[in-house]
Amino acid sequence: MEPLTNREVPAPLSFGGNSLDRLDWRSAAVLSREVVVAAFAVLLVAYFTSVYKKNQRPGQLRTWPLVGSIPTLAANWTNLYEFLTRFLEKDEVIWIDFAGVEALHIADPTLTEFVLKTNFPNYPKGSPLKERMRELLGHGIFAADGQQWKSTRKVASLQFSSAILRDFSAAVFKERSLELARIISQFAQSKRPIDMQDMFMRFTLDATCKVGFGVEIGCLSPSLPDVPFSRNFDLANKLSFDRYIDPFWKAKKFLNVGSERLLKNCVDAMDDFCYAVIRKRRLQLESGVRDSTESKPDLLSRFMTMIESPEDIYSDKALRDHVVNFIIAGRDTSAVTLSWFIYMICLHPEVAEKIYEEVTELERSEGSADDTGGQDDQFARFAGVLTFYSIGKLHYLHAALTETLRLFPAVPLNARVAEKDDWLPNGLKVKKGTMVAYNAYAMGRLERNWGPDAKEYKPERWLNDGEFQPTSAFKLISFHAGNRICLGKESAYLQMKMAAALLIKFFKFELVPNQEIRPRVMLVLAMAEGVQVIATPR
């Protein structure tokens, strides 16, 4: 994909004014004013000098008085990831000033391993992220630190290692993949353009809400209804991330105006839905219908029943935070990865053909079965061979999805904050309070990490004699790494592979001409305007 055109960085700010009036020795007030002005001038010169010196460091992003690097970032915000990647191609790190909060961007596996594993205790999430994402993430696992994070991680680990949840998830993913394939078939018959990102968002939200809440959302109903929860969720995600370039967001939040008022409205609408489901399930539990609640395999029911005494029960707010974090992990990341995957196989049809050959061979070797209640259609017959175990044989599909994640990581930027002064392995000093951001988007595109073909889409780089060969999680950082590595990695691959196998088995995809494909700047790497394709039955 060709780099997007960078916006021009604004010229330096200029300060000027008229010369001061002549001093009147008889006016003490005027004299005091002159002293104040002179003192302010000295401080201003000192500040400019310090900014100038800071700008001399290799990799220092252009910095302005009082607002730091925010004007520079804002001018390049719609093209942020390519903008930062170009800096990291020239320099090992980038220094960014978020209006007084210094941030160090890294894209080196050794440095990332040091932050996320070697000296993990010194790099918690920290207040910059938690403050900006508080309304959306609450105290869920993505924003938690310390003992709170350990407790949440322990409970989540037990859930994701559960065979009950795994089998339930696999069944839900298959059912939703079938619904998706049938809707794509309707579009293919009429040759109508399809926004595949919208389709994948519907697919993963339906699946995630079923696994997470135990409720049916109906996003993939044949009428493709409007989904207010999804719309509010996406907008809240973007508005939360935009706080990084808005130095006045706290004042706007206090006054409840502008983007902060809109964010509050979005979160309130999301919470109305979440709390309604939680209250309903809570009433079931409190009314003594415990056995039926325990038998439900969804995540919310299992969280509610993991108590040893009445004091251990989760509050409604805690449950809301857990499930919203789970939706981000299960819905957004898989949907955006599948969207970029479809885009890449449209650009590389030879990859789609190899995947088609692989899934066709799987069907031949596994045989077909109809496990969907007797429905006799081609989609159901093929879906019958897609199980938790058989899907593991699709090595080339796994490689193609992994190559997509390398170039288009679902979470392009993430950060920690240094709790104490520290020295990185490359000799750089990190002061207490510095944000250390690992840039997954740049890391997957740098030649020093992947060789001269770093920006090429080549699933074969992951294969050895036809078998998928993983690399270090600190090099492919899409699922994070170290102590906070993603618990849902295998579940995400299962969901994506089921959907991709069904779609490529039955359809060819071509891009609608003259559309701009670029990422939107938010917590996940969603496409700004989706991706329009034409599907053709095979």
- The binding site consists of 486
Q: CB–CB of 494/170 below 8 Å?
A: yes
337 half-sphere exposure, CB direction, 13 A CA radius: 31
From the annotation, which residues make up the binding site for heme? 486
Q: Computed from CA positions of residues 47, 53, 56, 61, in that sequence, does the dihedral angle turn out positive or negative?
A: negative
Which residue from 303, 273, 267, 269 is spatially nearest to 285, judged by alpha carbons? Answer: 303
Q: Hey, what's the torsion of the CAs at 213, 216, 220, 224, to 10 degrees?
A: -110
DSSP 3-state assignment of 251?
A: helix
One-letter amino acid for residue 363 of the chain: E
Structure tokens at 467: 């078998």
The set of residues, in sequence order, having a beta carbon less than 8 Å from that of 183 and lying 6+ positions away, is: 199, 220, 222, 224
Question: Which of the 8 DSSP states describes residue 125?
Answer: -
The structure tokens 């699922």 sit at 479
Run of H or E including 168: helix 163-190
Which residue from 337, 355, 332, 347 is spatially nearest to 455, judged by alpha carbons? Answer: 347
Q: CB–CB of 213/298 below 8 Å?
A: yes
Q: Rounded to an integer, what distance in angstroms lies between the CA atom of residue 136 and that of residue 139?
A: 9
Q: Which residues of 330-362 are buried (b: 16+ CB within 10 A; e: fewer)?
A: bbbbbbbbbbbbbbbbbebeebbebbbebbeeb
**Residues of the chain by 3-state class (helix, strand, coil), percent to 5:** 55, 10, 35
Structure tokens at 462: 């992951």
Question: Which of the 8 DSSP states describes residue 131?
Answer: H
Q: Rounded to an integer, what distance in angstroms lies between the CA atom of residue 345 and that of residue 356?
A: 11
H-state helical runs in 371-488: 378-383, 395-407, 440-443, 447-450
For the residues of 410-440, what is the DSSP string, one character each?
Answer: SS-EEEEE-SS-EE-TTS-EE-TT-EEEEEH
Distance, C-alpha 473 to centroid of its chain:
17
H-state helical runs in 244-394: 249-255, 258-286, 290-294, 299-305, 316-327, 333-347, 349-366, 378-383
